[in-house]
Structure 1
Amino acid sequence: MLELRHRHRLRRKEIRKLADDIEAALGVRTFDEGAAVDLADAQRFEVVVFDNSVVAVVFEGKAFLTVRGLLRWPASRAHVSIDEGAVKYICNGADVMGPGITGADPAIREGDPVWVRDTRHQKPLAIGRALAGGAALASKAPGKAVKNLHYIGDELWNLGVTD
């Protein structure tokens, strides 16, 4: 069970940097400078709490939306689309395999954080780290393509934030 520790309110300047990082990675504007945004430690991740929901995680100093954050602010960049047959595996924590990919943002570089969506509904299912560039991901090469870091139903998804 994940537990939030060392939760503290961010300053306007920190909120602006956080929102700018998310906008650069995903092409979506999230919260304003005046919003009440907290940062907390959740064992494996540093998490961003907004409106009592964990909406982002911090990877290597850069913020990236969680699945809940992506549902709240639909993104247009850094996505990997998977076929319907792979959905149940991804939602159980499996890494994304190359043959299950139906499309990917060509701007993705190896090591970038990405979000995984299903082809039919275009809804986020998971976030992970790309193990290849966008063109290589879309080519359906065999083997692992995205390391799954957070998915619907995991501890981070189920983390209830209470004051």
Structure 2
Amino acid sequence: MFFRQREGPFIPSLRLLHKYPFILPHLQVDRGAIKHVLNGSNIMCRGLTSPGARMTEVPKESVVAVMAEGKTNALAVGITMLSTDEILSTNNGIGVKNIHYLNDGLWRLKGVR
């Protein structure tokens, strides 16, 4: 399933992303950011540049899968507020806007059969 916020891009749900993990570029946060991301917080630049974090090069306003250090499945889907080069150079502020995360309302939505 894909969803859309207002007039923005179509974004794959986490359930779809878990089946087809290659459809989005991955940004990985360190272990300390996991609980904050799962509570719906945006992903800060420092969580993407610290040890344990990894980034695929993407431009600003790209839809990305947010992965966690030591985990195999994505824990969130977000939109980059800065390019990865800008995230590395500024290392301050919000890097990725958290759009959909594990156990949110969309995740708990029952499937139609």
Q: Normalised by the shorter chain, which TM-score bucket?
A: 0.7 to 0.9
What SS does the corresponding residue of 1:64 show, helix, strand or coil? strand
Gaps of 5+ in 1: 1-54
Between the aligned partners of 1:143 and 1:62, the Cα distance in structure 2 is 23
Q: CA RMSD in A?
A: 2.0
- Over 3 Å counting, the alpha-carbon distance change for 1:95 and 1:57 in structure 2 is same
Q: TM (normalized to structure 2)?
A: 0.83
Which residue in 2 is equivalent to 1:103? 54
Between the aligned partners of 2:9 and 2:79, the Cα distance in structure 1 is 13
Between the aligned partners of 1:104 and 1:76, the Cα distance in structure 2 is 16
- In structure 2, give the amino acid aligned to 1:103: R
Structure 1 segment 1-163 matched on structure 2, within 5 A: 55-58=1-4, 60=7, 62-75=9-22, 77-101=24-48, 102-106=53-57, 108-138=58-88, 141-162=91-112
Gaps of 5+ in 2: none
Q: CA deviation at 1:61?
A: 6.1
Q: TM (normalized to structure 1)?
A: 0.59
Contact 1:58 1:64 in 2 (8 A): yes
Structure with the larger RCO, 1 or 2 (CA within 8 Å, 6+ apart): 2
Percent identity between the two aligned chains: 28
Between the aligned partners of 2:69 and 2:90, the Cα distance in structure 1 is 15
Which deviates further from its counterpart, 93-102 or 61-70?
Answer: 61-70
- In structure 2, give the amino acid aligned to 1:69: L
Q: CA deviation at 1:140?
A: 7.1
